[in-house]
Amino acid sequence: MSQLEIKDLHVAIGDKSIVKGFSLTIRSGEVHAIMGPNGTGKSTLAKAVAGHPDYTITSGDVLLNGASILAQEADERARSGLFLAFQYPSEIPGVSIANFLRAAVQARLAEGEELDATAYYKRLYAKMDLLKIDRKFTSRSVNDGFSGGEKKRCEILQMAMLEPKFALMDETDSGLDIDALRIVADGVNALRGGPSAPGILLITHYQRLLDHIVPDHVHVMWDGRIVKSGDKSLALELEAKGYDWVKKEFAAA
Amino acid sequence: MSASTLIETKSPVGSFTSEAFAAHLASQANSPAWWLDRKRAAYETFASLPLPSRTNESWRFSTLAGLTLDGFTTDVDFIKEQITASEARISALELKAKGGQMGASFFSNIPHGGPLVTPLELASRGVIFTTLSEAVIKHEDLLKAHFMAQPQKLGSEKFAALHTAFVHDGVFLYVPRGVEIPDPIVILHRATGRMAVFPHTLVIAEENAKVTVCESFDSTGSASNFACGANDLYAGPGAQLTYVAAQNWSRDTLSFQFNSTVVRRDARVRSLNLHLGARQARHESLSLLQGTGAFSEMLALTVAEGAQEFDQRTLQIHQAPNTKSDLLYKNALRDQSKTIFSGLIVVDPDAQKTDAYQSNRNLMLSDDAEANSLPGLEIQANDVRCTHGATSSRIDPEQEFYLQSRGIAKPDADELLTFGFFEEVLSRLDNEPLHDALRGLIGTKFQR
Ligand SMILES: Nc1ncnc2c1ncn2[C@@H]1O[C@H](COP(=O)(O)OP(=O)(O)OP(=O)(O)O)[C@@H](O)[C@H]1O
Ligand SMILES: [Mg+2]
């Protein structure tokens, strides 16, 4: 059982304060959905936790199993078990999916340990089949010229290969068609039911994803912090009423 | 006394004195008179020309202080003793590993590992694969027509003359009309000790012939070497010639390499030079597009690190209508390294419908590295398409973060991104094993 604790986190980009006192604890196997209007700092939160160098953590802490990870670079955090599925994944021309994932898997091996290439490809192909990604994609450049949905599926493929302890999934549902959404959700649910189920932070705008990946908790983020938390019914309420009532309720408090 | 010392240190011949040249000529006693005369004339040219000076535009940005000609030997006998049996074995193995059924290897100028063998089937169709020293005896006309036959226009008249004067041996490949050689021909050159080396490769692909030649240049140990090599490529009408070279001399080497490529009607030449080694390496490449439909693809990849300097000068001369040239030189620079790219496209007055492209792209992996670009055009025809450009960029921090967020450490991420940057060039090679071999060589520069 692992635990990711985000404690009163404040994040600034340059001198602009974006995340303003965000606190949340996620345990293995839990799914926390975060919803909130555009520009409230959801992606900033996710990238800051993942270790983006441009995002300054002005106060607060992020603890993985009780130990702060803030001094670690992004790659160390990833190797400690953190995974960020990007809202806008980078395109990397000239670097094939196969070589990229191989480097990521290799990075997790002990010093001097050699990657078993046959086993690696076997595992990669199995995951690709599961996510219904054409095997031809292995030789394509990472996200280069991918459709929006292909990029998101590729993010899930990486997550499936790297088996993180905690996944921050930033609008993985946007750009997915109905079938792809189901495939992705099945992929996530498979991990969820597995022996080493990750803790998941699911950033989304839409209830339809939450129909497939049913969250344990739903949080509303507004102006850089959580202003309301509830169970899955909160998402339905938001879908019906929009964010205005949350804002009013929050402003009144 | 002090005055004469001064003159000596300023001597433009360095170790390549007239005594050294006389000794070299003596070692070439079996060669015909015309060849020796040619060498004598070249030595005269070499000795009479000054070293490049600051005011010389074709040496702009080059570190002239690095062009030292002192401290090397040209005594072949001296080196013969140094070639150990174990080195001989290594070389034979490498050749096999590289898959060449035809190949040659040279240790400090000397052909090595047995005579050059032309498979019977190819020999019967007129293919000649032999040493330069034998070719000057047996194939005088071809040598006269093609050996260092193009004008040296890129600044190294002196060093090209030095090459001709001291060239000891090399490879001569003649592929007659219509003959296609499926497997790449592999040529290895290894420098050892303080021996000055003068590798030479001459490839003549006659009408509709097809051949791939791969050359590799390296050193035993880390000794300071002096390399002054040349390759002459000739593609007759409709011929297809692929030339791949990997320069990986020791880090203390001063290297010069001169290429001339002649492309006749409807012929196609693709050359890819990989630059990894040497302290200071000057590479001059000339493509002459001489017949309608001729196409020269000029590719280069460089990984510069430490205090290395790679100095690349190119000339694309379109002499006939409807010709095409496509140059793409990519440099990755680390540490305090330096690169220079100076390229010129020349379109002669009657070379209408020329399609010429020239691009130099630099990936700056360090703030202390220096990439200089001097692209140029000289167009005398009015109906042409010529594009040129140079860019320098850094690693995209978002791409780097993306890779790091997958657990890949920054140096590995940068290596991956450098390979990504190079892929545009590497992917032009349709030979998969060759592509992999080059990737492997590039990878050695990132070993930590
Ligand atoms: N590099 C940056 N420089 C300046 N401002 C930035 C930068 N990146 C994000 N911001 C700002 O920070 C705020 C939060 O952005 P963020 O991307 O975190 O929002 P979000 O909640 O993920 O929105 P969405 O739902 O649209 O994805 C926005 O106002 C955005 O314009
Ligand atoms: Mg966002």
Rg for chain A (alpha carbons), in Å? 18
**CB-based burial of residue B401 (10 Å sphere; 0-12 exposed, 13-18 middle, 19+ buried)?**
buried
Q: Which residues of B touch A99 (CB under 8 A)?
A: 416, 419
- Mind telling me how many Å the CA of B396 is from chain A's nearest CA? 10
Q: Where are the domains of chain A?
A: 3-250
Cα distance between residue B422 and residue B445, in whole Å: 14
Please state whether the predicted TM-score (pTM) of the whole model is above 0.90.
yes
Q: Of B263, B270, B323, B313, which Cα lies nearest the Cα of B288?
A: B263
Whole-number Å distance, alpha carbon A172 to ligand 2 midpoint, is 10
- Taking an 8 Å cut-off on Cβ atoms, the answer to whether A53 and B405 are in contact is no
Which residues are in the CB-under-5-Å shell of ion ligand 2?
A: A 42-43, 87
Q: How close are the terminal C-alpha atoms of chain B, in Å?
A: 50
């450009």: which residue's tokens? B389
Regarding the beta carbon of A41 and ligand 1, being less than 6 Å apart is answered yes
Is A13 close to ligand 1, i.e. is its CB under 6 Å away?
Answer: yes
Q: What is the largest CA-CA distance in chain B?
A: 68
CB-based burial, B155-177: b 16+ in 10 Å, e otherwise: bbbbbbbbbbbbbbbbbbbbbbe
User: Residues of A with CB below 8 A from B438's CB?
Assistant: none
User: Is A247 in contact with A222 (CB distance < 8 Å)?
Assistant: yes
Per DSSP (E only), the strands in chain A are 3-13, 16-27, 31-35, 55-64, 67-68, 82-85, 92-96, 141-142, 166-170, 199-203, 217-222, 225-230
Please tell me the predicted confidence (pLDDT) of residue B192. 83
Nearest chain A residue to B395 by CA: give it.
A92
According to CATH, the superfamily of the domain at A3-250 is P-loop containing nucleotide triphosphate hydrolases (3.40.50.300)
The residue among A153, A132, A129 whose CA lies nearest residue A143 is A153
Alpha-helix residue ranges (DSSP H) falling in B49-125: 76-80, 85-97, 120-123
Q: Under a CB-based contact definition with an 8 Å cutoff, are residues B262 and B145 in contact?
A: no
Low pLDDT (below 50) residues in chain B: 1-10, 85-86, 88-93, 96-97
H or E stretch including B376?
strand B370-379
Mind telling me how many Å the CA of B390 is from chain A's nearest CA?
Answer: 19
List chain B residues with CB under 8 Å of A95: 416-417, 419-420, 423
Chain B contact residues (CB < 8 Å to A)? 396-399, 401-410, 412-413, 416-417, 419-424
Q: How far is A66 from chain B (nearest CA, A)?
A: 21
**CA of residue B139 relative to chain centroid, distance:** 24
Provide the residue type at A230 as one letter. G
- How far apart CA B121 and CA B133 sit, in angstroms, is 24
* C-alpha dihedral (A40, A46, A51, A53), degrees to nearest 10: -30
For an interface test with B, give the residue of A88, A92, A101, A162 to mutate (most B CBs within 10 A).
A92
**Tokens in use for B243?**
């030339």
Helix or strand holding residue B245 (H, E): strand B240-248
How many CB pairs below 8 A link A and B?
A: 84
| Identity of the residue in A94, A141, A158 whose CB atom sits nearest the CB atom of B406 | A158
The per-residue pLDDT for B2 is 40
Pocket test for ligand 1, best of A40, A169, A222, A225 (most atoms within 8 A of CB): A40
Evaluate whether A133 touches A147 at the Cβ level (below 8 Å).
Answer: no
pLDDT tens for A26-36 read 999 999 999 99
Nearest to B331 by CA among B298, B373, B269: B373
Closest CA of chain A from B418, distance in Å? 9
Cα gap B140→B129, rounded to integer Å: 15
* Strand extents, DSSP E, B249-354: 254-263, 268-275, 280-289, 295-304, 309-318, 324-333, 338-347
Contacts of B401 in chain A (CB under 8 A): 52-53, 74, 90
For residue B60, give Cα distances in angstroms to B54, B69, B157, B334.
Answer: 7, 20, 16, 21
B59 DSSP assignment: G
Range list of β-strands (E), B81-149: 103-107, 110-112, 128-131
- Chain A residues with CB-CB distance to B under 8 A? 50-54, 73-75, 77-79, 83-84, 86, 89-90, 92-95, 99-101, 103-104, 107-108, 141, 158, 162
Give the closest of A73, A92, A93 to B404, CB-based. A73
Structure tokens at B285: 């490449």
Strands A199-203 and A166-170: parallel
What whole-number distance in Å separates Cα of residue B362 and Cα of residue B342?
A: 13
Burial class (CB in 10 A: 0-12, 13-18, 19+), A110: exposed
Encode A203-250 in three state secondary structure: ECCCHHHHHHCCCCEEEEEECCEEEEEECHHHHHHHHHHCCHHHHHHH
